[in-house]
């Protein structure tokens, strides 16, 4: 069997293209959604047809046109059939990836209840395992098959968390999805403290929470506003100070500072990254100088609001006795408050953290002017200044008292002369 | 021989104010130390106790300040005369009193100032108390009130520059008051006996010597 050299070159080129695009598609399933996805499928289909046609030609199943003396209907029909088969098969593969978003991003197609915002979902940890990992029953005929898609149980993967949660006081009152939307779920450090509390408020109204804590917690409203509930009501550990950008809302009272949204920050950043509003040199690290510049800019409508947030969260919701001891947070001393971060909202709804230079929350004035944790964020500089003032007050008793003691005889003499 | 006379120097409301103030300020100082340095100081049982005591003592001192202000403004009506030094006192009295504290006291000379109900304080006292009662105490009290009500008074705190700046003001003013307290207590022992100035603040009556009055009236001009 003699094979034309040009055929071999064509064959290798087609295989390379087919394999390359196929591997790239599997590596980045996002490409398969929308119009680009269809273009890729047709390209893959074309490559496939060429390869199959070439194999068939070599095997003599079909004849090349130049060799053909008669009209070969098989040659004309077969590629078309193969193209249809290939294109028909590719959606089935896409169902195993994020191509679900082709329909589920559009409320008009699937209804508002079944919309999954791709911008939000794509950056979650769940996006990495893909839709079919949880919705296993969804096949190529979805939704025409009429089957209700299956949903994996959270405990299938989050075994430890489920076990921990089952022993908590929340268990039975709220299921996982009551607090966590699996299409939006993120790690603790990618969520703001305000967002964490927003979930709690779905059941626990702020007024009722404040009222309950008034019984024992000083500065109740302040604590409720500035602490994620999980910092005290779970055994969450490694608390750090996270600074969020807040903005006075238009027409609102100066005290009504709400977390600034990504869109608001993007508008203020004037085309740059939102991080550039604080991180002037864009090195993903906030120095004390940058912090001061941000805080001292009188034209800046933004301020930084500090919250004590946990680095690692747990799901053992309960009442912890040691959290009622103020010293749990307030007597930890300045060493425990050296680490701080600035978290900025991103376009996908998550928060991105940037480390802040050590000592930011301890800086005397302009590190974090709106954040102070009594007992644990004291400034060393102020300590020294205060000590010097008090020492100044001791100069009179000590200095004058010493001279007074040394000259006591003079006054005794004066007294005696008075009595005479 | 000296003829000892007694003058009623400290009326009851002022004595109540003074000792409420004294007790309150000492409590504020001690609890304040624990509140700022809880990892080193634990005078009171628990941090929360220290905070609550500090808040209560702060309110007591603020209330006693109101009593003082009300009494001198509306009952005795001599607040300005007592607390604002006259031109003569600023020009000459301050120097004369400083000379006494720094020199003539050690030589055994008598205090050039002799208190009367209408002129209780010497020029140095007047200047110091003017700053303390009309500047330091109100600022310290106001910053304390803001710190007790951070959320309701967030507006004002932001206008001042933020919570940390407010805390810095409160802390540094407290240190100034503490420094004054040491000087105040020490100078209170500078009478003819260690308790000569302290006793009137308890009983209201001060023992004075008329002969000395006469002598001093001749040698030193009395303030207006």
| Together in a domain, B107 and B59 | no
A379 vs B162: CB contact, 8 Å cut-off?
Answer: no
Mutate to test the interface with A, among B108, B132, B144, B167 (most CBs of A within 10 A): B108
| A337 domain-assigned | yes
Give the total number of structural domains in chain B: 2
Candidates A369, A386, A397; nearest CB to B175? A386
Dist. CA A107–CA A105, nearest whole Å: 7
Dist. CA A309–CA A291, nearest whole Å: 20
| Together in a domain, B141 and B212 | yes
A419 vs B2: CB contact, 8 Å cut-off?
Answer: yes
Give the model's pLDDT for residue A94: 44
| Together in a domain, B150 and B193 | yes
Mutate to test the interface with B, among A207, A393, A409, A411 (most CBs of B within 10 A): A393
Mutate to test the interface with A, among B4, B25, B31, B39 (most CBs of A within 10 A): B39
| Together in a domain, B55 and B100 | no
Distance from CA of B74 to the nearest CA of A (A): 33
SS3 labels along B172-187: HHHHHHHHHHHHHHHH
Q: Which of B20, B47, B77 is the last residue of a domain?
A: B77
| A9 domain-assigned | yes
B168 vs A364: CB contact, 8 Å cut-off?
Answer: yes
| Together in a domain, B64 and B94 | no
Angle at the Cα of A397 from the Cα atoms of A395 and A398, rounded to 5 degrees: 65
Tokens representing A217 are 């917690």
Is pLDDT of B212 > 50? no
Task: List the end-to-end C-alpha distance of chain B, in Å, as a whole number.
Answer: 30
Give the model's pLDDT for residue A91: 46
Q: Which of A53, A71, A102 is the last residue of a domain?
A: A102
Q: Which of A78, A102, A126 is the last residue of a domain?
A: A102
| A111 domain-assigned | no
| Together in a domain, B211 and B127 | yes
Query: A303 pairs with which residues across the strands?
Result: A246
Can you tell me which residue has the tokens 């399933």?
A: A29
Q: What is the ipTM of this complex?
A: 0.88
**Domain of residue B131, residue span:** 89-224
| Together in a domain, B58 and B111 | no
| Together in a domain, A220 and A314 | yes
Segments in chain A below pLDDT 50: 68-71, 73, 75, 91-94
Can you tell me which residue has the tokens 């310290």?
A: B140
B156-173 confidence digits (pLDDT tens) = 898 888 898 899 999 999
Mutate to test the interface with B, among A327, A379, A403 (most CBs of B within 10 A): A327
Nearest CA in chain B to A226: B151
Q: Is the pTM of this model over 0.80?
A: no
| Together in a domain, B61 and B107 | no
Candidates A371, A393, A419; nearest CB to B183? A393
Q: CB under 8 Å to B156, separation ≥6 — which residues? A: B146
Backbone φ and ψ of A240, nearest 5°: -130, 170
Distance from CA of A96 to the nearest CA of B (A): 51
A326 vs B51: CB contact, 8 Å cut-off?
Answer: yes
| B5 domain-assigned | no
Nearest CA in chain A to B188: A397
Give the model's pLDDT for residue A376: 83
Give the model's pLDDT for residue A386: 96
A393 vs B182: CB contact, 8 Å cut-off?
Answer: yes
Cα separation values, A97 from A91, A131, B216, Å: 10, 6, 102
Nearest CA in chain A to B186: A397
Is pLDDT of B13 > 80? yes
B179 vs A419: CB contact, 8 Å cut-off?
Answer: no
Dist. CA B48–CA A330, nearest whole Å: 10
Q: Which of A60, A81, A102 is the last residue of a domain?
A: A102
Mutate to test the interface with B, among A224, A302, A372, A384 (most CBs of B within 10 A): A372
Contact assessment for residue B180 and residue B127, using Cβ atoms and an 8 Å cutoff: no
| Together in a domain, B65 and B27 | yes
Contact assessment for residue A248 and residue A370, using Cβ atoms and an 8 Å cutoff: no
Query: B8 pairs with which residues across the strands?
Result: B205
| B94 domain-assigned | yes
B25-61 confidence digits (pLDDT tens) = 999 999 999 999 998 998 988 899 999 999 999 999 9
Q: Which DSSP state fits A104?
A: H
B65-99 confidence digits (pLDDT tens) = 999 999 999 998 988 989 999 999 999 999 999 99
Average pLDDT of the segment spanning B116-123: 89
Q: Is A312 helix (H, G, I), strand (E, B) or coil?
A: strand
Distance from CA of B75 to the nearest CA of A (A): 33
B175 vs A390: CB contact, 8 Å cut-off?
Answer: yes
Nearest CA in chain B to A365: B165
B164 vs A365: CB contact, 8 Å cut-off?
Answer: yes
A414 vs B35: CB contact, 8 Å cut-off?
Answer: no
Contact assessment for residue A134 and residue A151, using Cβ atoms and an 8 Å cutoff: yes
B172 vs A386: CB contact, 8 Å cut-off?
Answer: yes
| Together in a domain, B38 and B113 | no
Dist. CA A284–CA A113, nearest whole Å: 38
| A278 domain-assigned | yes
Contact assessment for residue A377 and residue B36, using Cβ atoms and an 8 Å cutoff: no
| Together in a domain, B188 and B125 | yes
| Together in a domain, A79 and A194 | no
Please report, to the nearest 10 degrees, the dihedral formed by the alpha carbons of residues B143, B145, B151, B152 taken in order. Answer: -120
| B83 domain-assigned | no
| B4 domain-assigned | no
Give the total number of structural domains in chain A: 2
Q: Answer left, alpha or beta for residue B222, where phi above 0 means left and psi between -120 and 50 means alpha.
A: beta
ω into residue B142 within 30 of 0, thus cis? no
Candidates A253, A331, A386; nearest CB to B47? A331
Judging contacts by C-beta atoms under 8 Å, the chain B residues touching residue A392 are 179
| Together in a domain, A226 and A362 | yes
Is pLDDT of B217 > 90? no
| B43 domain-assigned | yes
A400 vs B35: CB contact, 8 Å cut-off?
Answer: no
| A168 domain-assigned | no
B164 vs A225: CB contact, 8 Å cut-off?
Answer: no
Q: Which of B77, B111, B126 is the last residue of a domain?
A: B77
Candidates A222, A327, A367; nearest CB to B47? A327
A254 vs B155: CB contact, 8 Å cut-off?
Answer: yes
Judging contacts by C-beta atoms under 8 Å, the chain A residues touching residue B177 are none
Judging contacts by C-beta atoms under 8 Å, the chain B residues touching residue A419 are 1-2
Dist. CA A377–CA B152, nearest whole Å: 22
| Together in a domain, B72 and B101 | no
**Domain of residue A350, residue span:** 188-380
Give the model's pLDDT for residue A298: 76
Distance from CA of A226 to the nearest CA of B (A): 10
Dist. CA B24–CA B194, nearest whole Å: 23
């Amino acid at each position: 069997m003699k094979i034309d050299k040009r055929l071999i070159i064509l064959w290798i080129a087609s295989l390379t293209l087919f394999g390359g695009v196929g591997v790239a598609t599997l590596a980045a399933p996002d490409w398969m959604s929308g119009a680009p996805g269809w273009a890729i499928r047709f390209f893959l289909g074309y490559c496939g047809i060429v390869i199959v046609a070439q194999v068939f030609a070599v095997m003599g199943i079909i004849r090349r046109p130049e060799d053909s003396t008669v009209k070969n209907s098989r040659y004309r029909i077969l590629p078309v059939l193969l193209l249809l088969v290939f294109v028909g098969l590719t959606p089935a593969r896409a169902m195993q990836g994020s191509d679900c978003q082709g329909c589920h991003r559009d409320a008009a197609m699937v209804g508002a209840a079944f919309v999954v915002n791709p911008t939000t979902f794509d950056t979650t940890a769940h996006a990495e395992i893909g839709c079919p990992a949880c919705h296993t029953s969804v096949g190529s005929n979805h939704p025409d098959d009429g089957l209700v898609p299956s949903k994996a149980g959270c405990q299938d993967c989050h075994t430890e968390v489920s076990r921990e949660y089952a022993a908590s006081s929340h268990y039975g009152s709220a299921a996982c999805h009551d607090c966590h939307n699996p299409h939006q779920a993120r790690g603790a450090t990618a969520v703001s403290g305000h967002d964490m509390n927003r979930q709690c408020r779905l059941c626990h109204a702020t007024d009722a929470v404040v009222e309950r804590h008034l019984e024992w917690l000083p500065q109740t409203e302040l604590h409720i506003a500035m602490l994620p509930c999980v910092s005290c009501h779970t055994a969450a550990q490694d608390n750090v100070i996270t600074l969020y950008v807040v903005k006075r809302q238009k027409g609102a009272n100066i005290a009504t500072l709400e977390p600034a949204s990504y869109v608001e920050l993007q508008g203020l950043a004037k085309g740059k990254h939102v991080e550039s509003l604080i991180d002037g040199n864009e090195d993903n690290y906030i120095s004390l100088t940058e912090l001061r510049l941000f805080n001292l800019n009188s034209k800046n409508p933004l301020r930084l609001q500090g919250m004590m947030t946990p680095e690692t969260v747990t799901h053992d919701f309960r009442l912890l006795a040691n959290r009622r001891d103020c010293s749990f947070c307030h007597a930890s001393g300045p060493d425990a408050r050296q680490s701080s971060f600035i978290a900025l909202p991103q376009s996908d709804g998550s928060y991105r953290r940037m480390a802040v230079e050590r000592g930011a929350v301890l800086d005397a004035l302009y590190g974090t002017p709106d954040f102070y944790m009594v007992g644990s964020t004291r400034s060393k500089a102020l300590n020294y200044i205060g000590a010097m003032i008090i020492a100044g007050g001791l100069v009179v008793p000590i200095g004058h008292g010493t001279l007074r003691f040394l000259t006591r005889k003079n006054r005794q003499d004066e007294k005696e002369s008075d009595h005479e | 021989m000296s003829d000892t006379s007694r003058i009623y120097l400290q009326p009851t409301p002022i004595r109540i104010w003074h000792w409420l103030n004294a007790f309150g300020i000492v409590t504020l100082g001690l609890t304040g130390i624990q509140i700022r340095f809880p990892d080193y100081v634990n005078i009171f049982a628990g941090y929360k106790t220290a905070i609550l005591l500090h808040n209560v003592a702060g309110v007591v001192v603020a209330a006693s300040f109101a009593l003082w202000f009300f009494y001198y403004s509306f009952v005795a009506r001599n607040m300005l005369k007592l607390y604002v030094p006259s031109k003569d006192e600023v020009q000459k009295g301050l120097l004369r009193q400083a000379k006494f504290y720094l020199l003539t006291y050690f030589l055994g000379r008598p205090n050039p100032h002799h208190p009367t109900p209408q002129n209780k304080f010497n020029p140095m006292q007047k200047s110091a108390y003017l700053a303390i009662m009309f500047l330091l105490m109100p600022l310290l009290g106001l910053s304390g009130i803001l710190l007790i009500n951070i959320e309701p008074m967030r507006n004002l705190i932001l206008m001042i520059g933020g919570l940390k700046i407010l805390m810095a003001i409160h802390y540094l003013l407290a240190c100034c008051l503490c420094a004054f307290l040491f000087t105040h207590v020490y100078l209170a022992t500078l009478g003819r006996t260690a308790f000569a100035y302290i006793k009137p603040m308890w009983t209201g009556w001060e023992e004075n010597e008329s002969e000395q009055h006469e002598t001093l009236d001749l040698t030193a001009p009395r303030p207006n």
